[in-house]
Structure 1
Amino acid sequence: MHILCRLYPWSGTRVGGRETFLILFSCVSDFWSDRTPLHEAAYQGRLLQIRSLIVQGFHVDTLTMDRVSPLHEACLGGHYACAKFLLDNGANRSASIHTPHLLASPVHEAAKKGHRECLELLLSYGADIDMELPVVGTPLYSACMARAAACVRLLLHSGAAVRIGCGQDSPLHAAVRGGGPNVVDILLDFGADECCRNAEGKTPLDLSSANSAVRVGLQKKGTRCGHSRELHKPI
């Protein structure tokens, strides 16, 4: 697709309008050609169709070229019954995590989309609650970035490490970036370290906007870090 885009740029030079469209359309079709009916059924939440396709011989862990599994699709869509059926039929709960694509696992997908029931299901089937992936971080980190408070609470009640996020970035840093004051409160109640510094040397308080609900929440809980130089900058 990248080669075709270079040969036929969108700059207005015509290479035969209709013909160009057909070439590009064909390329897009090839890109999606490895997405199976099982993936589509899982994403749409069609349980009966999933059952039928597996009976017909579709493998429960069929992967696309980008290593997306049907379980990924079910968790993205928040389809609990479909996810449970796939797991009951042997789906890999940690599918496609060790790949060059650094794709989030199903538990990350459920956490960041706020699909609490799917998340609880995956954890009950033994998904790694503190699985940390490059860029993606842990499921808790993903949920904090997305302000998915119900999933944050579930993960913490289920034993997720409150201080493990993405490299030196903590879940609390993620919650501040995401702008979720309720998520910040939950993390602090579970012992999050408001003084921890990320790779840039910033604390969560440093990342918060002046007069924001997030900053008020951090200060209300009694930050022990002292005043950051950032707080004294003119606004």
Structure 2
Amino acid sequence: MAAVQTEVSLSPQPWQRPLYIYGGLACNSLMADFWSDRTPLHDAAYQGRLLQLRSLIVQGFHVDTLTMDRVSPLHEACLGGHYACAKFLLDNGANVETVSTDGATPLFNSCSSGSAACVRLMLQHRASIHTPYQLPSPIHEAAKKGHRECLEVLLSYGAHIDMELPVVGTPLYSACTARAADCVEVLLHSAADVRIGCGQDSPLHAAVRGGGANVVELLLDFGADECCRNAEGKTPLALSSPNSAVRVALQKKGPCSLSQLCRLCIRRSLGKSRLHRAYGLFLPHSMKDFLLYQ
């Protein structure tokens, strides 16, 4: 089918070039020779200037004007963490699923900026929570950046907690690599599998390399195996530096108690989808709290 070409007349300022729509895709043909083709619409969105954004839309700027790298104003609003601007763009028809040339979506940018409000807004507008494996993943970005609230919102909308991607591994592995203890805690309490990392490399290996003793202690408390070996045949202890806080954390743990083994067994038997039902078990409150690490 032949592409439909529609020209939108804009005012004659230098940055306002004729905008064309090819099969629904907005592009700016006269900006093709510029390495930087951000429009005032992009700048207003990134800076959170809502009144300017409204004015530019009234003047005739297309809400989905894209740069050469396919970055939309909505991308910029989310990267700046500006909820009001993002909502205004969406209310005026912005595409929540636009993917930039580097694979980022507005939802990904919201996770990158740490704006839980923007994350929730994108999901309310049905943004895809799971991207193809070759594209940047929102949940991995939130975990890596240590944005706990964003992570909690994603999980509440059903994000795959143990999704393993090449190089970056699982969200838990990403959080351990970045020493993002708050996110590690959220993932573990939400029943992330402490055994799955990146290939044969476990989250515990990643935490030891990152030097996060507090993260190492968290992982061990949730059943991480300090004797597991990676592709090089090394245990987490073998990766730790002598006399380091990480090595001390690994060595002081010792064998699991019977109560800890029972807790881990029950949690794994319940599984992620039913873990919340532990509150309904006919057990004393103290045992429920123990089971759920309260």
Work out whether the TM-score is over 0.5.
Answer: yes
Distance in 1 (CA, whole Å) between partners of 2:90 and 2:222 is: 42
- Let me know the Cα RMSD of the aligned residues: 1.8
> Which residue, 37, 54, 66 being the options, matches 2:102?
66
Q: For structure 1, which runs of at least 5 residues remain unmatched after alignment?
A: 1-24, 225-235
| Aligned position for 2:93 | 57
Distance in 2 (CA, whole Å) between partners of 1:197 and 1:153 is: 23
Distance in 2 (CA, whole Å) between partners of 1:89 and 1:214 is: 43
Task: Determine which structure has more spread, i.e. the larger CA radius of gyration.
Answer: 2
Does residue 112 (structure 1) correspond to residue 144 (structure 2)? The answer is yes
> Which residue, 226, 231, 234 being the options, matches 1:194?
226
Instruction: Give the CA deviation at 1:187.
Output: 0.3
Using the size of structure 2 for normalisation, the TM-score is 0.64
Count the aligned residue pairs. Answer: 196
Distance in 2 (CA, whole Å) between partners of 1:209 and 1:218 is: 11
Q: For structure 2, which runs of at least 5 residues remain unmatched after alignment?
A: 1-32, 39-66, 257-294
Pairing 1:63-142 to 2, within 5 Å after superposition: 63-95=99-131, 97-99=132-134, 103-142=135-174
Deviations 1:83-137 (A, max 9, x none): 1011001011113x332xxx44101111111111100100000000000001010
> Which residue, 75, 80, 87 being the options, matches 1:44?
80
Instruction: Give the CA deviation at 1:57.
Output: 2.0
> Which residue, 179, 183, 199 being the options, matches 1:147?
179
Instruction: Give the CA deviation at 1:28.
Output: 5.6
* Amino acid corresponding to residue 95 of structure 2 in structure 1: H
> Which residue, 210, 213, 229 being the options, matches 1:181?
213
* 8 Å Cα contact 1:194/1:223 also seen in 2: no
Distance in 2 (CA, whole Å) between partners of 1:189 and 1:133 is: 25
Pairing 1:202-213 to 2, within 5 Å after superposition: 202-213=234-245
* 8 Å Cα contact 2:110/2:116 also seen in 1: yes
Higher relative contact order structure (alpha carbons within 8 Å, sequence separation ≥ 6)? 1
Flag as ranges the 4+ runs of structure 1 deviating above 2 A: 25-33
* 8 Å Cα contact 1:104/1:133 also seen in 2: no
Instruction: Give the CA deviation at 1:199.
Output: 0.4
Pairing 1:213-232 to 2, within 5 Å after superposition: 213-222=245-254
Instruction: Give the CA deviation at 1:179.
Output: 0.4
| Aligned position for 2:196 | 164
Deviations 1:4-45 (A, max 9, x none): xxxxxxxxxxxxxxxxxxxxx934659854111110000111
Distance in 2 (CA, whole Å) between partners of 1:205 and 1:32 is: 48
| Aligned position for 1:26 | 34
* Amino acid corresponding to residue 34 of structure 2 in structure 1: S
* Amino acid corresponding to residue 224 of structure 2 in structure 1: A
Distance in 2 (CA, whole Å) between partners of 1:28 and 1:195 is: 52
* Amino acid corresponding to residue 98 of structure 1 in structure 2: Y
Deviations 1:208-231 (A, max 9, x none): 01110001110111279xxxxxxx
Q: Percent identity?
A: 63
Distance in 2 (CA, whole Å) between partners of 1:59 and 1:104 is: 18
